[in-house]
A = this chain, B = another copy of it.
Amino acid sequence: MNHFFNVKTLEEVSSLVEIFPAVDREIIDVADACSRILAADLTAGRDMPGFRRATMDGYAVHAASTYGASESSPAWLELVGSIRMGQVPDFELAPGQAAPISTGGMLPKGADSVVMVEHTEAVDEGSVEIYKSVAPLQHVIDASEDFARDQTVLADGTFIRPQEAGLAAGLGFSKLEVYQVPRVGIISTGDEIIPITQEPVPGKIRDINSYTLAGFIEEAHALPVRYGIIKDNPAALKKACERALGECDMVLISGGSSVGTRDYTVEVLSSLADTQVLVHGMSVSPGKPTILAKSANKPVWGLPGQVVSAMVVVKIIVIPFLQRLQGYKEPVRQIRIPAKLTRNVASAQGRRDFVRVMLEKWPLENSPLEKNPLEPGPCRMLARPVLGKSGLIRTMIYADGLLEIGEHVEGLEKDTLVDIILL
């Protein structure tokens, strides 16, 4: 069988994400919703906060009663009423009057603003002097100022951060409709691979990929399901694939690195019902021997057996497919850190290279960006390429990130400003 008969660029592989649907939805408790993806628009059932609320400790007033007030010419206001937290004030405030109020308290009818306590002085039990004027709605949040009733506050496909969970809770959504957590099956193949609890004899190595790949899946907020180690045997691999496809939303098969296994993977994938091999080879280094198939509506990946290559492929291209399954409506912005390259880096044309780099702080005395070392300033980092063969896991241990070099670039010179994908 011809190897790499269907080699695609990273862009071509990325564009295939479109053909896979998101997983099903489910209803969960809002307390468990962080890091999930909202699966329905969320509409405010009521105004938020729902009443006119003080944002400072001070006095509720008619703003107009304070106009012109200053240190030298304070406004004198009559003290009325008492506002208890969480209670509706049982009085109405007239012009010329003031009522003490705490942050979060409800303004009495008639009051439109709050004078901060720092700008007042209580004269006696019945009156207060105001040293600074306020404008209407100053130091106040109005009834519908945060969100108004019937407003769509969060959209289908939103990643739920703590603040989105808090907003949903604040609007009374104790349950939320979200996308399920995709299950990702992980199969290690290869006659040389043994379980980590066994002591390897020469020729054998322990199963690293099951652990690294599961880690990346967890990091992306999905659920890894390990199917263990399958020997280089097409029938066994087919059986494991069918089982994993029956139980999971995506399957990763990390090759046993042998030529035989690589052929087996394509052969086995081609023999599965309703399955089509879409990619067989990717013009990416490391990661060329990558396979992508569509089985029913699920992605199945054949990953390089080399531990570093498998990790890079998962980080760079598998995770965006996982995000599609998770219900994201558009590609998630990958976090990149700008840095200055410490040395020349070579790269082959026609291939997308991912170079492991360490990130180091840029010494202040050499930084042209530095203005005032006492102040928080723009990011200053050096990207130092990690030396060592690409098959060495230590290169991934020492690396803080990946430097992406495009197909049309022959290499990058020392001191080039690049941005680094964090690992």
Contact = CB atoms under 8 A, between A and B. Distances in A.
B418 A219 contact: no
B257 A162 contact: no
Interface stretch (A60-68, A163-171, A270-278): A163-171
Given A163-B397, A172-B197, A232-B85, A31 B226 contact: yes
Number of identical monomers bound together in the oligomeric complex:
2
A260 B167 contact: no
Contacts of A396: 163
A81 interface: no
Contact of A85 (B30, B190, B369): B190
Nearest to A193: B86
B31 A203 contact: no
Given A34-B218, A423-B161, A338 B379 contact: yes
A interface, how many residues as a size bin? 35 or more
Interface-central residue, A84, A168, A169, A193, by most chain B CB under 10 Å: A169
Given A154-B397, A393-B167, A423-B163, A202 B57 contact: no
Nearest to A359: B333
Interface stretch (A128-136, A234-242, A403-411): A403-411
Nearest to A104: B257
A154 to B, nearest CB: 7
A84 B190 CA distance: 11
Interface stretch (A91-99, A207-215, A324-332): A207-215
Given A163-B393, A335-B335, A191 B84 contact: yes
A202 B393 contact: no
Nearest to A361: B333
A226 B29 CA distance: 14
Nearest to A137: B389
A73 interface: no
A88 B191 CA distance: 12
Given A55-B306, A208-B167, A408-B374, A392 B219 contact: no
Contacts of A259: 57, 102-103
Contact of A162 (B30, B105, B215): B215
A50 interface: yes
A258 B205 contact: no
Contacts of A124: none
A307 interface: yes
A204 interface: yes
A70 interface: no
Nearest to A376: B404
A258 B85 contact: yes
Interface-central residue, A50, A55, A203, A260, by most chain B CB under 10 Å: A203
Contacts of A389: 55, 141, 145
B103 A419 contact: no
Contacts of A173: 196
B215 A419 contact: no
A199 B206 CA distance: 57
A359 to B, nearest CB: 8
5 pairs of A and B residues whose beta carbons are closest in the complex: A162-B215, A104-B257, A86-B192, A166-B212, A375-B406
16 contacts: A34-B219, A50-B205, A51-B202, A86-B191, A104-B192, A105-B257, A141-B392, A153-B397, A163-B311, A169-B207, A170-B196, A174-B196, A337-B337, A338-B378, A338-B379, A374-B408
Given A170-B307, A170-B393, 17 more contacts: A49-B205, A85-B257, A88-B202, A102-B257, A102-B258, A103-B305, A106-B192, A162-B214, A162-B311, A163-B212, A169-B211, A170-B196, A170-B205, A335-B422, A337-B337, A376-B406, A378-B418
